């Protein structure tokens, strides 16, 4: 009976406690052990002195804390409950502080990335010992060697007024006090080109909000040759009449001491990220896809190797596109996200008012803004792509789990142009010309165009303006070109296999003035569609890369292989980057790799300009040492032609190249240094045939038409930020 009475008393006490919501005993035990501990530390003994807390430890269990456990004293009986406070404001909840609107939050107002680099290059015998093909009996007549590299001027003979040759006043042997044999040995070393250049690249990003950004790319002293703009160049320093007295370097200025300004803005575009996965970009932006054999932004492609920082920054080319691009991300989560993108690109807008009529037709003068003078000569480009690609951080996280990672994508570009200038016509203007139309007596500019630039608003000799000349040059191009491209990458632990395959199909109309000029050679007569030739395009190329890491990923073995279809004739002036062919071929089948993708030092990067009409095979090995801060790499590359009749020597073998590099890439600091050496042994495809020799046997091509080895030594140091 006593126990029954105790149970009734305890039940009544608990019921009274529940009826007082403002007491500690009612709600504090419900907060859990962590909340009780925080409140106890915050409020002190006053919190534990409330009714119902005696005998409760820090964990909310009897026997702990103040008063409950051993040495804590005896428990006292519960007294009457305290009355609720009469102040009604004490029962009101605290007003929450409103959060900052999500659309106006800023992660970081300004973000700056880029790099600073300086490179020193030496190229030995870039002409392969063949010379420029000039005949000694007649300096005005030259053999058609299609050699874009000339020997150093100091190694060549001077011409005389009667059409002959004489010894160069700067001849090496004449200026050396040594025996003829020693002098000849030393003078052979002069057959090279040495220079150094630099670039500061700034890539700032302005974070307007956490969803709105503005990106740009600015190059300062872009590939400026060191020492190329002294104050003696234009006589800007009266106390430096010759170069030996030069005191300082002047800023490069387009049209004065350089062909480019000291600061060039290459890209500027905005980006808006909407909350439901929609992404909008607009402006002049980087143009890249896959491994970069078709579209390459020149920023270097991350391959998951420590030496990537060196190869990313040792770039000379890069593609940009004027575009409005809309993309949307979809997938279960960030690890499985696919992006679908569509864009409208302005590949070319044709001539503008300022280009044809002069600077007064630019913004702020005769018109408010410069604009395109013809709508139907625009080259419109549409792009549609879908890609599943992990960024470098996500890729590293997935690989750390030991599971294979598969990335892939597909894209297609469609280009269309209705009207265009006739092939071989002059350029659109540098603001300095007097609007000459095409003329056979004008020298070829290296791309098969015989003419000077249009511009500055002056009338030509026939009293035609630049706009009238442009009118005379227009034909129905009716061009339609489709470029499909697929990309696949598989990563697993230290293995990487990557493939990109692309094709180009299409057709367009053309008439090449160099093959069929106008009747009077001065003014282009009206050309109808019946006078045009239909050109068809069918090209294909692919690149395959394989890499596997051994010994805790410190030793890499790799194999790169690529192929680009060729044509049955050479490019104009032997330029592999020129899509036009010699001989008026109506079927263009020569695929051209993007020059920014090329990874060798000589064959494709310098001598040929890009991979076209070629298949290459490149095994390589790299070793990382000194706590992965340094690496050494060796590449062997053999290349052969797809179409032998499109080579200089009508042979299949382009040559063998051996490249070696020692690189320092600090794992903690963003600095890099590299030293590279390469040698190219050209084979029969570069030889010049004997039928180029003059009938009298004089002045044969240098080395009897046998192309000699080319060498290079390159060094680079830089900082990335």
The whole-number pLDDT of residue 147 equals 77
Q: Which of the two residues, 586 and 324, has the higher pLDDT score?
A: 324
Tokens of 345: 């690109």
At 185, is the secondary structure helix, strand, or coil? helix
Which of 309-313, 651-655, 669-673 is predicted least confidently? 309-313
Q: How distant, in Å, are the alpha carbons of 367, 458, 494 from that of 402?
A: 63, 69, 10
Which stretch of 1-10, 462-471, 621-630 has the lowest confidence by average pLDDT?
1-10
Which pLDDT band, with edges at 50, 70 and 90, does 425 fall under?
A: low
- Distance separating alpha carbons of residues 446 and 423, to the nearest angstrom: 14
Nearest-angstrom CA–CA distance, 147 and 125: 12
d(CA 630, CA 672): 10
Q: Is the pLDDT of residue 416 over 50?
A: yes
> How far is 334 from 450, CA to CA, in rounded Å?
55
Provide the pLDDT for residue 369. 86
Number of neighbouring beta carbons within 10 Å of residue 652:
16
Instruction: Give the residues across from 496 on adjacent strands.
Output: 491, 547
Least confident range of 78-92, 185-199, 382-396, 547-561: 78-92
Residue where a domain terminates, one of 510, 531, 552: 531
Domain closes at, from 18, 37, 66: 66
Q: What are phi and psi of 589, to 5 degrees?
A: -120, 5
d(CA 566, CA 643): 5
DSSP 186: H
What are the E-state strand segments in 81-136? 110-124
Q: Can you give the pLDDT at residue 355?
A: 76
What is the C-alpha to C-alpha distance for residues 569 and 557, in angstroms, rounded to an integer? Answer: 37
Go through the chain and tell me how many residues it has. 721
What is the average pLDDT score of the chain?
Answer: 78
Q: What are 384-410's pLDDT values in tens digits?
A: 999 999 988 888 888 988 889 999 999
Examine the pLDDT at 522 and tell me if it is beyond 80.
no
In this structure, is residue 216 part of a structural domain?
no
How far apart, in Å, are the Cα atoms of 118 and each of 196, 473, 617, 674, 678? Answer: 7, 44, 30, 11, 19
User: Do 514 and 381 share a domain, yes or no?
Assistant: yes
- Selection from 359-368, 608-617, 703-712 with the highest mean pLDDT: 608-617
Q: Looking at residue 181, what is its pLDDT?
A: 67
Residues contacting 419, CB < 8 A, separation 6+: 350, 374, 376, 377, 474, 475, 476, 477
Question: Same domain, yes or no, for 158 and 40?
Answer: no
Model confidence band, residue 270 (pLDDT cutoffs 50, 70, 90): very high
Is residue 101, in this structure, part of any structural domain at all? no
Q: How confident is the model at residue 313 (pLDDT cuts 50, 70, 90)?
A: confident
Query: Considering only 320-329, 352-361, 587-596, 613-622, which range has the smallest mean pLDDT?
Result: 352-361
Tokens of 312: 């990313």
Task: Say which residues have a Cβ less than 8 Å from residue 628's Cβ, sequence separation at least 6.
Answer: 306, 554, 667
User: What distance lies between CA 537 and its chain's CA centroid?
Assistant: 26
Residues 469/448, Cβ–Cβ less than 8 Å: no
pLDDT at residue 189 greater than cutoff 80: no
Residue 708: name the closest of 194, 195, 193, 191 by CA: 191
For 531-567, what is each residue's pLDDT tens digit?
788 889 999 999 999 999 999 999 999 999 999 999 8
Residue 105 located in a structural domain: no
Asked if residue 598 lies in contact with residue 604, where contact means CB atoms within 8 angstroms, the answer is yes
The CB density around residue 342, as the number of other CB atoms within 10 Å, is 14
Over the stretch 29-70, which tens digit does the pLDDT of each residue have? Answer: 444 554 444 444 444 444 444 444 433 343 343 344 434 444
Residues 512, 369 within the same domain: yes
For the stretch 129-184, pLDDT in tens is: 887 666 544 545 556 667 778 888 877 778 777 767 777 777 776 666 666 667 66
Nearby residues of 97 by Cβ (< 8 Å), 6 or more positions away? none
- How buried is residue 408: exposed, middle or buried, by Cβ count under 10 Å (0-12/13-18/19+)? middle
Closest by CA to 714, choosing from 316, 140, 282, is 316
Short-list 668, 660, 659, 599, CA closest to 628:
668
Q: Determine the Cα–Cα distance for residues 322 and 284; give it in Å rounded to an integer.
A: 4
Q: What are phi and psi of 181, to 5 degrees?
A: -65, -45
Which one has a higher pLDDT value, 704 or 709?
709
pLDDT, residue 6, reads 52
Is 720 within a domain? no
Distance CA 712, CA 625 (A): 25
On the 0-12 / 13-18 / 19+ scale of CB atoms within 10 A, 94 is exposed
Q: 476 and 361, same structural domain?
A: yes
Same domain, residue pair 354 and 461: yes
Helix H or strand E segment including 395: helix 392-400
pLDDT of residue 160: 79
Does one domain contain both 181 and 62? Answer: no
The conformation of residue 37, written as its DSSP 8-state character, comes to H
Same domain, yes or no, for 39 and 173? no
pLDDT on residue 200: 96
Interstrand relation of 110-124 and 192-207 (parallel, antiparallel or unpaired): antiparallel
Strand partners, 510: 533
For the chain, the first-to-last Cα distance in angstroms comes to 84
Give mean pLDDT, residues 417-431.
Answer: 66
Q: Is residue 15 part of a domain?
A: yes
- Provide the pLDDT for residue 553: 92
Count other Cβ atoms within 10 Å, centred on residue 509: 19
> For the purposes of burial, counting CB atoms within 10 Å of the CB of 102, is it exposed (0-12), middle (13-18) or buried (19 or more)?
exposed
Left (φ > 0), alpha (ψ -120 to 50) or beta: where does 402 sit? Answer: left
Banded model confidence at residue 517, pLDDT cuts 50, 70, 90: very low
Q: For residue 485, which phi and psi values (nearest 5 degrees)?
A: -155, 135
Domain of residue 6: give its range. 2-66
Give the contacts of 661 (CB within 8 A, at least 6 positions apart): 632, 633, 674, 675, 676, 677
The last residue of one of the domains, among 531, 553, 583, is 531
* Strand 533-550 versus strand 587-588 pairing type: parallel
The residue with greater pLDDT, 211 or 170, is 211
Q: How many domains does the chain have?
A: 3
**DSSP letter assigned to residue 35:** H
Residues 45 and 183 grouped into a single domain: no
Residue 113 counted as domain residue = no
What local confidence, expressed as pLDDT, does residue 163 receive? 67
Within a domain: 54: yes
Report helix, strand or coil for 207: strand
Which residues have C-beta within 8 Å of that of residue 362, sequence separation ≥ 6?
Answer: 353, 354, 370
Q: Is the pLDDT of residue 292 over 50?
A: yes
Could you list the beta-strand ranges (E) of 465-613.
Answer: 474-492, 495-510, 533-550, 555-564, 587-588
Q: What is the largest CA-CA distance in the chain?
A: 142
Residue of 242, 188, 246, 196 whose CA lies nearest to 223: 196
pTM for the structure as a whole: 0.78
- For a pLDDT cut of 70, what percent of the chain falls above it? 68
Locate 48 and state its tokens. Answer: 């534990």
pLDDT band for position 362 (cuts 50, 70, 90):
confident
Strand-pairing partners, residue 675, are: 662, 715
Q: Residue 220 pLDDT more than 70?
A: yes
**Dihedral through CA 683, CA 686, CA 690, CA 692, nearest 10?**
-170
608 or 186, greater pLDDT: 608
- In the prediction, which pLDDT does 227 show? 92
Residue 656 lies in a domain: no
Buried b (16+ CB within 10 A) or exposed e, 614-630: bbbebebebebeeeeeb
């Amino acid at each position: 009976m006593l126990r029954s009475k105790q149970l009734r008393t305890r039940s009544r006490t608990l019921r009274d406690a529940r009826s007082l919501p403002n007491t500690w005993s009612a709600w504090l035990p419900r907060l859990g052990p962590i909340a009780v501990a925080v409140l106890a530390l915050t409020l002190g003994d006053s919190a534990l002195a409330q009714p119902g807390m005696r005998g409760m430890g820090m964990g909310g269990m009897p026997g702990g804390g103040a008063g409950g456990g051993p040495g804590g004293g005896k428990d006292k009986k519960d007294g009457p409950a305290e009355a609720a406070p009469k102040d009604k404001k004490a029962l009101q909840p605290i007003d929450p502080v409103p959060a900052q609107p999500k659309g106006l939050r800023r992660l970081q107002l300004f973000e700056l990335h880029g790099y600073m680099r300086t490179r020193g290059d030496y190229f030995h015998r870039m002409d392969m010992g063949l010379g420029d093909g000039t005949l000694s009996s007649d300096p005005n007549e030259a053999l058609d060697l299609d050699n874009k590299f000339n020997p150093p001027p100091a190694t060549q003979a001077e011409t005389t007024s009667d059409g002959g040759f004489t010894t160069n006043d700067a001849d090496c042997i004449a200026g050396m006090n040594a025996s003829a044999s020693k002098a000849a040995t030393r003078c052979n070393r002069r057959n090279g080109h040495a220079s150094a250049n630099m670039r500061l690249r700034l890539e700032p990003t302005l974070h307007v909000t956490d969803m709105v950004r503005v990106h740009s790319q600015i190059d300062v002293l872009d590939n400026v040759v060191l020492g190329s703009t002294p104050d003696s160049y234009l006589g800007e320093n009266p106390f430096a009449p010759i170069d030996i007295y030069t005191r300082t370097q002047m800023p490069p200025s387009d049209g004065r001491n350089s062909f480019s300004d000291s600061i060039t803005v290459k890209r500027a575009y905005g980006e808006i990220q909407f909350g439901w996965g929609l992404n909008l970009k607009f402006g002049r932006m980087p143009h890249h896809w896959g491994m970069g054999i078709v579209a390459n932004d020149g920023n270097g492609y991350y391959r998951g190797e420590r030496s990537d920082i060196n190869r990313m920054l040792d770039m000379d080319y890069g593609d940009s596109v004027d575009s409005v691009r809309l993309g949307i991300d979809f997938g279960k989560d960030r690890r499985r996200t696919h992006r679908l993108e569509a864009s409208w690109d302005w590949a070319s807008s044709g001539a503008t008012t300022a280009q044809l009529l002069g600077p007064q037709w630019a913004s702020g003068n005769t018109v408010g803004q410069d604009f395109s003078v013809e709508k139907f000569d625009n080259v419109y480009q549409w792009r549609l792509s879908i890609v599943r690609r992990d960024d470098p951080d996500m890729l590293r996280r997935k690989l750390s789990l030991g599971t294979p990672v598969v990335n892939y994508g597909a894209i297609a570009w469609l280009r269309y142009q209705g009207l265009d200038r006739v092939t071989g016509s002059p350029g659109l203007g540098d603001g300095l010309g007097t609007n000459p139309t095409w003329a056979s007596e004008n020298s070829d500019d290296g791309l098969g165009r015989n003419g000077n630039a249009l511009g500055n608003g002056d009338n030509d000799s026939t009293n035609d303006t630049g706009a009238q000349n442009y009118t005379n040059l227009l034909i129905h191009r009716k061009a339609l070109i489709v470029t499909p491209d697929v990309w696949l990458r598989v990563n697993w632990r230290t293995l990487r296999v990557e493939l990109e395959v692309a094709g180009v199909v299409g057709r367009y109309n053309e008439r090449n003035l160099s093959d069929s000029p106008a009747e009077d050679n001065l003014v282009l007569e009206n050309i109808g569609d019946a006078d045009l030739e239909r050109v068809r395009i069918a090209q294909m190329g692919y690149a395959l890369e394989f890499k596997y890491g051994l010994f805790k990923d410190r030793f890499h073995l790799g194999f790169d292989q690529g192929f680009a279809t060729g044509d049955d004739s050479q490019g104009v002036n032997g330029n592999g980057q020129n899509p036009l062919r010699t001989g008026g071929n109506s079927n263009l089948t020569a695929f051209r790799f993007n020059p920014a993708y090329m990874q060798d030092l000589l064959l494709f990067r310098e001598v040929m300009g890009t991979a076209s009409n070629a298949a290459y095979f490149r095994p390589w090995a790299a070793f990382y040492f000194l706590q992965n801060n340094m690496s050494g790499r060796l590449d062997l590359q053999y290349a052969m032609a797809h179409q032998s009749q499109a080579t200089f020597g009508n042979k299949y073998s382009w040559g063998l190249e051996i490249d070696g590099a020692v690189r320092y890439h600090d794992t903690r600091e963003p600095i890099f240094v590299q030293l590279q050496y390469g040698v190219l042994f050209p084979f029969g495809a570069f030889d010049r045939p004997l039928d180029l020799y003059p009938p009298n046997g004089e002045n044969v091509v240098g080395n009897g038409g046998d192309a000699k080895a080319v060498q290079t030594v390159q060094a680079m140091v830089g900082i990335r930020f």
